[in-house]
Amino acid sequence: MKIQFYKYQGAGNDFILVDNRKMAFDHQNPTIIAQICNRRFGIGGDGMMFLQDKEGYDFEMIYYNADGQPSSMCGNGGRCIVAFAKFLNVIDSDTEFLAVDGSHYAKISAAGTWVSLQMIDVECVTRDGEAYVLNTGSPHYVALTNDLKHKNVYQDGFAIRNNATYLKEGININFVEPMEQGYFVRTFERGVEDETYACGTGVTAVALAMAIYNKQHGHINTPVKVLGGNLNIRFDYDGQKFTNIFLEGPAMQVFNGTMDLNY
């Protein structure tokens, strides 16, 4: 069986997308998903998404990690599927869609390459030593560091993600270093089990954690540099709860083709 796919990237986070409104793809097989996401034996990607119909919404986002397992929310994936929905003429300039963590509003530029995605509100932020732990649709660990450019993110991220506290459920590990404007962030992602070029829920977690660290309140705008480019996070914080959180950045189609599901 052959099926049409589209490859998108958002600040270097790359995804395989399928228009599954006719339910032609049965995505209940993690082995097939993992093989498709494999960069040597498949198409290659940080994850795979299916755009499906959902009553009461413009569409539903079904997301799988590169290991083939169902995932929690993916911020850059969410922005890419919004761009995909515009490409398919499912939406025009804004949308309300359903993801695993609930309803999301998003707005896309006329060119279809810049997406502002509203994330879930966040109230609970805990500490693990000096690090911040919070859920922005996916669980994140945020640690300030120095000389991030030369840090062994795979080694250090792997160690934290697999320690006794986080081994069972997994967690994404974000290392952050202040820059002249905003922050530089590198992330080790669970499910991918490696460093990725960007992580949308991760940079969102970093921006919120740094607002607490810097004792900021009110409307806050946080530019973030990742290995794959630049993102922006804006939100409101009253000292207790983060609301009106938007993750903003590029989302672009790279190529498309057909894949054979019989291998």
Beta strands 114-118; 47-52: pairing state: unpaired
Give me the active site residues, please. Answer: 74, 199
Helix ranges (H only) for the chain are 30-37, 75-87, 153-161, 200-213
| Sign, CA torsion 210/212/215/217 | positive
Residue 70 vs residues 110, 175, 250: alpha-carbon distances, Å:
31, 25, 24
Tokens standing for 17? 């997308």
Instruction: Yes or no: say if 50 and 62 are a contact pair by the CB < 8 Å rule.
Output: yes
Give the pLDDT confidence score for residue 147 in this predicted structure.
98
- What is the reported pLDDT for 263? 53
Fold agreement between 2-119+251-260 and 125-245? yes
* CA dihedral of 155, 161, 162, 165, whole degrees rounded to 10: 140
Query: What DSSP designation does 23 have?
Result: -
- Strand, helix or coil for residue 190: coil
User: Would you state the pLDDT for residue 261?
Assistant: 78
Could you report the average pLDDT of every consecutive run of 10 residues in the chain (263 residues)? 94 97 92 95 96 98 96 97 98 97 97 96 98 98 98 98 97 97 97 96 98 98 98 98 98 96 68
Classify domain 2-119+251-260 at the CATH class level.
Answer: alpha beta
Cα atoms in the 13 Å half-sphere on the side-chain side of 263: 11
Selection from 103, 107, 134 nearest residue 120 by Cα: 103
Angle between helices 200-213 and 75-87 in degrees, nearest 10 = 130
Q: Which of 12, 25, 137, 15 is nearest to 82 (CA)?
A: 15
For the stretch 161-167, contacts whose Cβ atoms lie closer than 8 Å and that sit 24 or more positions apart, written own/partner, are 161/188, 161/190, 161/193, 165/128, 166/141
Domain ranges of the chain: 2-119+251-260, 125-245
Q: Which CATH number fits domain 125-245: 3.90.75.20, 1.10.645.10, 3.10.310.10, 1.20.120.420?
A: 3.10.310.10
pLDDT at 1: 81
Phi, psi of 232 (to 5 degrees): -135, 140
